[in-house]
Structure 1
């Protein structure tokens, strides 16, 4: 009887511990700009990457600057349209993209501040690209069908006109803090060098320490990624944050265990706890390289959202979490933590598709192995 009562007491204590509410302590919290909303658009790739560049400008110059997200969107759509037409419609076209699409646009088109190009018209306060995206896709499909039997070059001007109508005409010069700039001279002022940023991933379909094109739907521009073992990808995030570099993140947020409303993303060991673990601590699954690969190849892990890693926290048990800035606004009825989501290390190991970092943020051994 005593043994039974002792066992019951231990079980009861463990159950209470398992349901203990999260209590987070900040370890690292790097400076960034305020959380904003991407609205009804699929442009998280631009909002998160722009936030990442804003933190880089703070790191490089000490100056907080609100950059235009829509300037990069406006200048990326023509490249996406060109790709779609030249591939005769046999490729992805939509609102999605990846971090390197922003870096490519910055290199080609420079940077501008939000005040010079908001992408909103008079009276508008939020973004909604649903109609624009549908119009663009319908136009492009018509051009691919080629009803005139000879595709003219007018299609490029037509796409530009639609973008002018819905997002705005491109800006060639502007005044910022009393000085005149072009997008390229403004880029030079920020000290951002697009070539200094690298994409890192961790999958076994390519050799480690090689560079390969990651076959995911939103990689319409065929961007290349450096491939490293999973432990090294996580170590790269940790090393970056420890050295004062924030990290751009492409990840899967389709899981029931990701909740912006609860402000956490976790991978419980027992799937029966998936919902309960959003409010309280439960043991998490150990994520191996093989399990990560299996979940990617069976479509359980998909690339559907880009976010911005800005810090590290620990819960009351010492478990590490990453402070991840989202672009879904700060409405307290919809999001927690002021618009941030705290990713457990297990969630990051399983659901991070890739990261983008300054090459100076790489651990020495990783940089050496990648010849960077």
Structure 2
């Protein structure tokens, strides 16, 4: 989520994108982990010098859903949606008179909201990069936009054309405004037409799940996160159900958007693994043992870390597969957005089930993947 997480983990991003067949061919696999299931996913991308993992992860989920529904393999523009979400953030910030969060961060539902309202666009129509850039760079954009909004809010009344001025600032960092229409495979589309007819996007196809005890299970609540500027609500389920729903979705051939805390010593992208070890002394970060002893990831332990602000909303990724260790420990195969060279496995990370249990903030699951019993509990039938 936050671009400073790249610095925390000592990552060097590279914008090297490799075309991959579907199901995705992972360039290497851990010798100790058996891959049980790998679902279709589009190529690994690099979010560059931006804090927009929330868009890359959720767009990747939408792309996988498009393929699963029988559509062609899309390459959806992340920056088109990022630009639209920045407009939504700005309106929220202005209406709240600056008493709101404004920055690069966001959540997966921001993509669903923006795609429903504004549509989607292929990368070929809008890459959202300034001239000469090979990867997106928002190192100065968010600060510039916030300064503009803060300066404007000191005036009363505010300028009637402030949104046009704001959009013009974004255009300087994103290579101009996106087109109103574009040609794709011999036809002219609007973003709304492309989303509906080509990508087959429907926001009702997705469900946001989380698991915390400070709200009743099977209710919907607004998750208390700084980057939840949209005040989005999430269905609350037990930890066992959260893990089970994610596993079941992947086993059925679906993929899952994953929002997690990765600013801890257990997430080591350079080795391609994520663990919650019982003790640091048990964890060889260069060559981890998949069966190393991990914490007892109970509902209470997870809640305690969240309420102590230890577990936070850091980074969003895309779960595409499942694996197991020699002793039978479950792993999630996770597509990251830090480029193909960010891990030994072509940009993928193998995440242990205990790590997932402790560090998950929320997931977005295709509604069709949920079991009937859970749909009934959530009154989604």
In the alignment, is the contact (CA less than 8 A) between 1:38 and 1:44 conserved in 2?
Answer: yes
8 Å CA contact retained: 1:237, 1:247: yes
- Alignment partner, residue 44 of structure 1: 53
Deviations 1:250-289 (A, max 9, x none): 1000011101111000011224324558622411111100
Q: 2:212 maps to which residue?
A: 203
- Decide which of 282, 296, 310 is 1:300's aligned counterpart: 310
Matches within 5 A, 1:1-372: 23-144=32-153, 146=154, 148-167=155-174, 168-189=176-197, 190-276=199-285, 279-281=288-290, 282-331=292-341, 334-372=342-380
Gaps of 5+ in 1: 1-20
TM-score (norm: length of structure 2): 0.89
Aligned equivalents of 1:94 and 1:50: distance in 2? Answer: 20
What secondary structure is seen at the aligned counterpart in 1 of 2:317? strand
Cα contact 2:319–2:335 (8 A) shared by 1: yes
Per the alignment, in what secondary structure is the counterpart of residue 269 of structure 1?
A: coil
- Residues 297 and 274 of structure 1: is their aligned pair in 2 closer, same or farther, counting only changes over 3 Å? farther
Contact residue 252 and residue 352 of structure 1 kept, 8 A: yes
How far, CA to CA, are the matches of 1:290 and 1:349 in structure 2? 11
1:8 corresponds in structure 2 to none
How far 1:112 sits from its partner (Å)? 0.9
2-side partners of 1:152 and 1:120: how far apart?
28
SS at match of 2:346: helix
Deviations 1:182-229 (A, max 9, x none): 111111222221122110000011100000000011111100000000
CA displacement at 1:348 relative to structure 2: 0.4
The structure whose Rg is larger is 1
Q: Is the 1:259–1:278 Cα contact (8 Å) retained in structure 2?
A: no
| Structure with the largest fraction of helix | 1
- Aligned pair count? 348
Q: Secondary structure at the match of 1:191?
A: coil
Q: 3-state SS of the aligned residue for 1:250?
A: strand
8 Å CA contact 2:46–2:339 kept in 1: the answer is yes
Counterpart-to-counterpart distance in 1, 2:146 and 2:283: 38
C-alpha distance in 1 between matches for 2:165 and 2:344: 42
- Looking at structure 2, the residues matched to 121 and 93 of structure 1 have their Cα atoms a distance apart, in angstroms, of 22
Distance 1:175 1:294 in 2: 52
Q: Which moved more, 1:134-143 or 1:38-47?
A: 134-143
Shift, 1:22, TM fit: 5.6
Residue 84 of structure 1 deviates from its aligned partner by 0.8
Aligned-residue Cα RMSD (Å) equals 1.4
The answer to which of 46-55 and 59-68 deviates more is 59-68
* Mapped partners of 2:41, 2:80: distance in 1: 20
TM-superposed CA distance for 1:321, in Å, is: 0.3
